[in-house]
Chains A and B, each alone.
Chain A
Amino acid sequence: MSKTVLKKLLAIKDESKRRAYFIALLSGEIARRGAELPIVVGGEAVELYTQGRYTTGDIDLKAPKEVFEAILTEWGFEKQGRIWFSSEYGLYVDWLGGSLDEGEEAEKRTNIIALDSQNEVRVISFEDLIIDRLCAAKYWKDEDSLIWAKSLAKIAGKAGGLDRQYIVRRAKSEEISDLLFSILNEGDG
């Protein structure tokens, strides 16, 4: 894997898809070096699940620090604080730590999105992402987050369903059961 592969990304016109392929290439390289696959979280996870409907354009990632930093340095990325960026490729990665704040159970629940037979990305589960958005809706009065949570619940419903027992338990511990039931009672998820 080298910078020449990254150059091929520039041929992908769809920005959202280009970022997804970048994450897949990075994930593949991290795995090749024997570390855990990184996990896409935050806005980029919403973007992947809702397919181009939500974006700031940066990539929120949980990844093992040493191998992550070694690869991006080899690929010519610059570092500023926790942010890694390549102005050349228009890629901006926000490194948010080595593991999910939600814990080991959440890490076991992550989903895999296959871009093709060789490229895949690991994403925080629908359930944990919905809880994250509902927390923003409740504690920051962020109405938009509520709509995204609802969207995610509907998409999850059509993509295999939500683990209701788990999400209800998490909502209870975050004291957002009221919001969770308001989106689940509308017929999906």
Chain B
Amino acid sequence: MRITYDELRKIACEVRAEMIERGEIDPGKKRIRRKPRDPEKSELLYRMAIDRLEQYPPYRDDKGRIVLPWFR
């Protein structure tokens, strides 16, 4: 099968909206991964987190609130 990225995006958005409407997905529900990760993957995710922290270091704004630039 061959499909374009934009077609897929449209379909994926429709499906997500339908699943939320039917209550099959709860966007507010905390997701917990049960399948364990192997040590190399865990190491990779740790490195990604550290790299992001270095590239986008958190800081406090003038009201003393913590700002996490990665999420902006």
Contact = CB atoms under 8 A, between A and B. Distances in A.
Interface of A: 17, 20, 48-53, 56-58, 80-83, 85, 87, 90, 92, 94, 111-116, 125, 136, 140-145, 147, 150-151, 154-155, 158-160
A145 B31 CA distance: 10
B15 A111 contact: no
B66 interface: no
B37 to A, nearest CB: 9
28 contacts: A20-B5, A48-B8, A50-B15, A50-B16, A51-B13, A53-B12, A58-B44, A58-B48, A80-B47, A83-B40, A85-B48, A87-B54, A90-B52, A111-B1, A112-B3, A113-B2, A113-B5, A114-B2, A115-B5, A125-B1, A136-B35, A142-B33, A144-B33, A150-B19, A154-B15, A158-B15, A159-B1, A159-B3
Nearest to A82: B40
A51 B45 contact: no
A57 B49 CA distance: 10
A87 B51 contact: yes
Nearest to B37: A56
A49 B8 contact: yes
Secondary structure type dominating chain B contacts: helix
Contacts of A151: 12, 15-16, 19, 25
B48 A155 contact: no
Interface string B38-60: 00110111011001101100000
A57 B48 contact: yes
Nearest to A160: B1
B43 A80 contact: yes
A114 B16 contact: no
B24 interface: yes
